[in-house]
């Protein structure tokens, strides 16, 4: 289970302690947490797939309406909050298409697998994830009502069987959800209903790492600039300007040509911009991108990109 593996990963817990770590550390609570996750996922998936099947039998258009409205509300929510575009560092039309596909894929996966990674602020966020989970329960009641009242074929599942099955699955879902909420670490409960955007999350994560944890902070500059544009001048620029000379002297493993290329020009000390020959004064972004695409920073300096 990806959620379990990632949440218990020491590397993940160190790099993003604000998000990873909800699973208890002791053996018994961890086992209970794992079992409740499994049973909750089981009930969720069966509720939603059964709802889709009943709606498809009753009227396929109702199924399309149910799924379309659910997806449309999610897209609208992301757009209104300025959190629609994905965190990958892409530009132009490719960025737009990637946002559409990635948001669709993330929402679809969360709906039909209940993968809890979907609550990450760079994916759906906690509130959207919680609504997707609740949709399975609401949709199951609506589908049973629609099937019982509007499906006219001779071979039809009787209402008592549907209600018994629905009641059993909802009971499993409810007990599992309550057990899960009680056993996880309390400080992570908010991640399951948080409205935190990708930008706000990365700012908090950047601030969490200490002054000497450059290897943890550096990851933010591999994201799209929109993720940090609201606070980059305030936090990232002073950090890079202050430490650039030291990085050039110490040459840490992560301080590579590829990473340097992702750093906005204004976040690099002027003397190093000159040495890299990125500008000879200043160039616009399109010229800079052409240069970056044709030759590495180290080669411009005169080296061969060796570390």
Q: What confidence score (pLDDT) does residue 211 get? A: 76
Q: Is the pLDDT of residue 289 over 80?
A: no
Cβ proximity of 51 and 147 under 8 Å: no
What's the predicted TM-score (pTM) here? 0.83
Q: What confidence score (pLDDT) does residue 286 get? A: 45
Mean pLDDT of the chain: 88
Q: Is the pLDDT of residue 93 over 80?
A: yes
Q: Is the pLDDT of residue 142 over 90?
A: yes
DSSP 9: -
Q: What confidence score (pLDDT) does residue 143 get? A: 96
> Band of the pLDDT at 91, cuts 50, 70, 90?
confident
Q: Is the pLDDT of residue 272 over 60?
A: yes
Query: How far, in Å, are 30, 35, 166, 189, 215 from residue 43 at the CA level?
Result: 20, 12, 10, 21, 41
* CA pair distance 252, 202, nearest whole angstrom: 22
Q: What confidence score (pLDDT) does residue 277 get? A: 66
Q: What confidence score (pLDDT) does residue 129 get? A: 96
Q: Please, is 299 exposed, middle or buried when counting C-beta atoms within 10 Å of its C-beta (0-12, 13-18, 19+)?
A: middle
Q: What confidence score (pLDDT) does residue 306 get? A: 42
Tell me what the mean pLDDT of segment 7-33 comes to. Answer: 95
Q: What is the pLDDT of residues 145-201, one digit of tens each?
A: 999 999 988 788 998 999 999 999 999 999 999 999 999 999 999 999 999 999 999
């Amino acid at each position: 289970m990806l959620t379990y593996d990632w949440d218990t990963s020491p590397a993940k817990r160190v790099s993003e302690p604000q998000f990873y770590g909800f699973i208890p550390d002791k053996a018994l609570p961890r086992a209970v947490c794992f079992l409740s996750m499994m049973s909750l996922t089981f009930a969720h998936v069966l509720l939603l797939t059964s709802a889709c099947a009943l709606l498809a039998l009753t009227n396929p258009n109702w199924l399309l309406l149910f799924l379309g409205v659910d997806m449309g509300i999610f897209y609208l929510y992301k757009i209104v909050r300025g959190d629609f575009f994905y965190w990958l560092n892409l530009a132009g039309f490719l960025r737009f298409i990637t946002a559409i596909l990635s948001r669709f894929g993330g929402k679809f996966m969360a709906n039909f697998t209940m993968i809890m990674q979907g609550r990450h602020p760079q994916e759906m966020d906690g509130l959207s994830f919680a609504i997707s989970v609740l949709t399975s329960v609401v949709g199951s009641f609506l589908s049973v009502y629609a099937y019982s009242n509007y499906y006219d074929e001779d071979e039809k599942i009787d209402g008592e069987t549907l209600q018994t099955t629905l009641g059993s699955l909802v009971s499993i879902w409810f007990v599992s959800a309550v057990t899960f909420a009680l056993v996880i670490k309390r400080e992570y409960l908010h991640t399951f209903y948080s409205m935190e955007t990708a930008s706000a999350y990365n700012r908090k994560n950047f601030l969490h790492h200490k002054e000497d944890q450059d290897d943890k902070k550096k990851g933010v500059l591999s994201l799209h600039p929109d993720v940090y544009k609201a606070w980059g001048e305030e936090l990232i620029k002073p950090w890079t300007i202050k430490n650039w000379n030291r990085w050039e002297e110490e040459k840490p493993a992560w301080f590579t040509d590829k990473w340097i290329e992702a750093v906005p020009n204004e976040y690099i000390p002027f003397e190093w911009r000159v040495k890299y020959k990125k500008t000879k004064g200043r160039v616009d972004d399109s010229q800079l991108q052409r240069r970056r695409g044709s030759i590495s920073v180290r080669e411009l300096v005169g080296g061969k990109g060796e570390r």
